Amino acid sequence: MQDGETGGTPPEDVRFESALPEPGERPAEPAPSESSEIPAPDGPKFDSLGLSADLLKAVEQSGYTIPTPIQAQSIPHVLQRRDIIGIAQTGTGKTASFTLPMIELLARGRAKARMPRSLILEPTRELAAQVAESFEKYGKYNKLSMALLIGGTSFDDQDRKLDRGVDVLIATPGRLLDHFSRGKLMLSQVQILVVDEADRMLDMGFIPDVEEICKKLPFTRQTLFYSATMPPEIQRLTEKFLHNPVRVEVARPATTATNITQEIIQVPSND
């Protein structure tokens, strides 16, 4: 077995309709559908998920009152250092579902030069920048250091940041491997890996890079893996690189996000 490969263990399923009421409880509201990103009014509150007071304050200041389903269902597992397969689209609150518990887990400990403590892989610069913004917003009361390794920015600036040591490294796969091959980065201290939007990585041809990166990471890391759909290539990747994952599904594969309205407009062929 190669470094970073764990062999597959069947995932433990977490689905919202599985939450059964206790005997004597009033009849439950209709269970949120798997494709719903609207927080359930009777669902858990942010302060029951295991987040510290500093994070709860940052969450409140972001204007969030109730966790979305993916947040409610995955944050406690991430805090327990479980691997996660999150089947969720953008718009479901999935970014906070991994950034919030990561800030909590990384709050103790210090980064060494060139050895990031966590790594988030994003398919595009724009997504990488959005995740960085989330870390800034939710991490305002925690002093975590962060670097973005994306194309279009100078290697020198990025190298300087890495030299100072980073708790959170957010990168696109190609740029990360460029830094690695130049000897500017070591991946031996990465405790948490996030692979975000894996199906987009597949569409963009990044899966070989993601596999190469996974093999360079410590075997004992925690892996949080997100994809809106689960085509066979992505399924294979989760079986290869995740260990006993909890599966959290908030949207059916290949359905449209519920916050997008689709319309068909017929246009005359001569238009």
Q: Which of 86, 93, 123, 245 binds ligand AMP (CB under 6 A)?
A: 93
172 contributes a contact to ligand AMP by CB under 6 A: no
Q: Residue 153 or 259: which CB sits closer to ligand AMP?
A: 259
Q: Residue 58 or 111: which CB sits closer to ligand AMP?
A: 58
Measuring CA to CA, how many Å separate 38 from each of 15, 25, 90, 243? 15, 23, 13, 30
Q: Which of 74, 95, 222, 223 binds ligand AMP (CB under 6 A)?
A: 95
Owner of token pair 């689960």 = 230
117 contributes a contact to ligand AMP by CB under 6 A: no
**How far is 78 from 152, CA to CA, in rounded Å?**
32
**How far is 256 from 138, CA to CA, in rounded Å?**
28
**How far is 78 from 72, CA to CA, in rounded Å?**
11
* Nearest distance in Å: CB 183, ligand AMP: 34
Tokens standing for residue 217: 């990471």
84 contributes a contact to ligand AMP by CB under 6 A: no
* Nearest distance in Å: CB 64, ligand AMP: 4
Measuring CA to CA, how many Å separate 122 from each of 60, 61, 132? 26, 26, 11
Residue with CB nearest ligand AMP? 95
Per DSSP, the residues of 205-248 read T-HHHHHHHHHHS-TT-EEEEEESS--HHHHHHHHHH-SSPEEE
68 contributes a contact to ligand AMP by CB under 6 A: yes
Tokens standing for residue 29: 């509201």
Give the amino acid at 64. Answer: Y
Stretch that binds ligand AMP, among 85-93, 103-111, 142-150, 182-190 (CB under 6 A): 85-93
* Nearest distance in Å: CB 9, ligand AMP: 27
67 contributes a contact to ligand AMP by CB under 6 A: yes
**How far is 90 from 93, CA to CA, in rounded Å?**
7
245 contributes a contact to ligand AMP by CB under 6 A: no
Stretch that binds ligand AMP, among 48-56, 62-70, 153-161, 186-194 (CB under 6 A): 62-70
Stretch that binds ligand AMP, among 89-97, 162-170, 172-180, 186-194 (CB under 6 A): 89-97
For the chain, what's the residue count?
Answer: 271
92 contributes a contact to ligand AMP by CB under 6 A: yes
Mutual angle of helices 94-106 and 69-79, in 10-degree steps: 20
* Nearest distance in Å: CB 61, ligand AMP: 12
* Nearest distance in Å: CB 98, ligand AMP: 9
Q: Residue 217 or 250: which CB sits closer to ligand AMP?
A: 250
**How far is 141 from 58, CA to CA, in rounded Å?**
7
Chain contacts with ligand AMP (rule: CB under 6 A): 39, 64, 67-68, 71, 90-96
